Amino acid sequence: MDDVLVVHGGAPLHGEIRVRGAKNLVSKAMVAALLGEAESRLHDVPSIRDVEVVRGLLELHGVRVSEGPAGELVFDPANVERANVDEINVHAGSSRIPILFCGPLLHRIGHAFIPDLGGCRIGDRPIDFHLSALREFGAHVEKSPEGLHLTAPDGLRGSKFTLPYPSVGATEQVLLTAVRAEGVTELRNAAVEPEIIDLICVLQKMGAIISVHTDRVIRIEGVPHLTGYQHRPLPDRLEVASWACAALATHGDVYVRNAQQVDMMTFLNVFRSVGGAFEVDDSHTGSGGIRFWHPGGELSAVALETDVHPGLMTDWQQPLVVALTQARGLSIVHETVYEQRLGFTDALVKMGATIQLYRECLGSTPCRFGQRNFLHSAVISGPSKLHGAELEIPDLRGGFSHFLAALAAEGTSRIHGVDLINRGYEDFEAKLAALGARVEHA
């Protein structure tokens, strides 16, 4: 496929699009299907590359995956088996999800091979929390040039851990391992993102016993067997926010079908403070949605800090920054989740935005990066007239923001590396076309 798109900016986006199940739940629910002894059925799965990668890995391990109507995937894990290392390695570097196969594979076949991980280049992205949790459960981890080999000669046993930081992936690792480990696991300082709560719902449907306590404590009673599940995932609130900001940055009006208010309250507050308008449509049974629009007049500068849930999601930051280039005054952004998630702003500066990055913490949320010399705060001075430019997609969310900037800009932009967007945004080009964006292949 042609990897370069030409965007003719300046047209407000108008119309309706629909989001499906959240990428960051769907991929984990697919891994959970490995743990069951019966068929699982996941509804409303988006057709994106992360899903293809996980499907490929499941199939290599003997899980039969079939497609039903309307984005339904069915997993039959009756014959889980060891996969060939070379075949697994075809998926090396393509996603972070393979690390979550450790616990389920150890439970099912006593061995796991994990290829080198990929995912967006937004920081160092170590897996130290994952490995120390797996070792606590009793796993032996051997590093080899091609990846990680794990075994559990004495089985996996529940334990008490405290995460150094409420990592989403490490919390999922513990959940997917503890549900079938012997005894009780108590996880402190756990992440409690809505996608994690939805994964807990999936596991509960399978027969797991998991309780979420106050102060980020999750307690899991291991059970010897799990069955399958049938699940409709929470909608992709990261994608919803991306389209909401597209409406704001282009002076448009976009109805996002299937968007849900409950998991987006922090985003909606910021959207309103900046000057965006929204209306929640939940008057009918069925999917409903949220309409987002620019109500006219000037947008307002704001100060914001990203944080773990219930704070402002790090994945909401990049599209908001594009909208903030159009707000009057000085906006301040403090990124506290990933140390290098402001690199995408270089392209915005090239397009005419005024953005200065700082190593200092410009905010009061406790942060691990202030002392470590990372450019993780930004001051945005607006409003700026953006103009078209030649751009290269750096990562998934940063890349979407480049599109937003190109759509809001005057003139034409050429965007390279567009295929990366297909990792996390289903039918990206078709949705742009449905909203009236003037985009064509080079």
Among 20, 55, 251, 397, binds ligand EPZ (CB under 6 A): 397
> How near is the Cβ of 175 to ligand EPZ at its closest, in Å?
12
| Widest CA span in the chain | 66
| Range 160-199, binding ligand EPZ (CB under 6 A) | 165, 167-170, 191, 193
Question: φ, ψ for residue 298 (rounded to 5)?
Answer: -90, 150
CA dihedral 429, 434, 438, 440 (to 10 degrees): 30
> How near is the Cβ of 215 to ligand EPZ at its closest, in Å?
18
> How near is the Cβ of 225 to ligand EPZ at its closest, in Å?
27
Instruction: Give the integer Cα–Cα distance in Å for 256 and 233.
Output: 16
Q: Contact region for ligand EPZ (CB under 6 A) — 79-87, 126-134, 352-360, 382-390? A: 126-134
> How near is the Cβ of 377 to ligand EPZ at its closest, in Å?
15
Q: Does 96 bind ligand EPZ (CB under 6 A)?
A: yes
Query: 124 or 215, CB closer to ligand EPZ?
Result: 124
Q: Does 424 bind ligand EPZ (CB under 6 A)?
A: yes
> How near is the Cβ of 25 to ligand EPZ at its closest, in Å?
8
Q: Which residue is nearest to ligand EPZ (CB)?
A: 169
Q: Contact region for ligand EPZ (CB under 6 A) — 31-39, 103-111, 243-251, 307-315? A: 307-315
> How near is the Cβ of 436 to ligand EPZ at its closest, in Å?
26
Q: Which two tokens stand for residue 258?
A: 């299937």
Q: Measuring CA to CA, how many Å separate 113 from each of 55, 150, 381? A: 16, 6, 48
Query: 191 or 245, CB closer to ligand EPZ?
Result: 191
Q: Binding-site residue total for ligand EPZ (CB under 6 A)?
A: 28
Q: Does 40 bind ligand EPZ (CB under 6 A)?
A: no
Q: Which two tokens stand for residue 253?
A: 């009006």
Q: Contact region for ligand EPZ (CB under 6 A) — 3-11, 125-133, 199-207, 274-282? A: 125-133
> How near is the Cβ of 284 to ligand EPZ at its closest, in Å?
30
Q: Which residues contact 53 (CB under 8 A, 6 or more apart)?
A: 91, 94, 95, 97, 98
Among 27, 21, 35, 50, residue whose Cα is nearest residue 176 = 35
Instruction: Give the integer Cα–Cα distance in Å for 258 and 262.
Output: 12
Catalytic residue (one of 102, 120, 201, 245) = 120
**Which three-class secondary structure state does DSSP give residue 264?**
helix
Among 67, 81, 87, 128, binds ligand EPZ (CB under 6 A): 128
Within 13 Å of residue 434, how many CA atoms lie on the same side as its CB? Answer: 13
- Residue position matching structure tokens 């291991």: 222
Query: 22 or 406, CB closer to ligand EPZ?
Result: 22
| Range 323-352, binding ligand EPZ (CB under 6 A) | 337-338
Q: Residue 422's CB: how many other CB atoms inside 10 A?
A: 18
Residue 120 bears catalytic tag: yes
Q: How far apart are the first and last CA of the chain?
A: 11
- Residue position matching structure tokens 């985009």: 439
Query: 71 or 169, CB closer to ligand EPZ?
Result: 169
**Which three-class secondary structure state does DSSP give residue 118?**
coil
CA angle (88 as vertex; 86, 90 as ends), nearest 5: 75
Cβ–Cβ < 8 Å for 367, 382: no
The set of catalytic residues is: 120
Positions that interact with ligand EPZ (CB under 6 A):
23-24, 96, 120, 123-130, 165, 167-170, 191, 193, 238, 313-315, 337-338, 396-397, 424
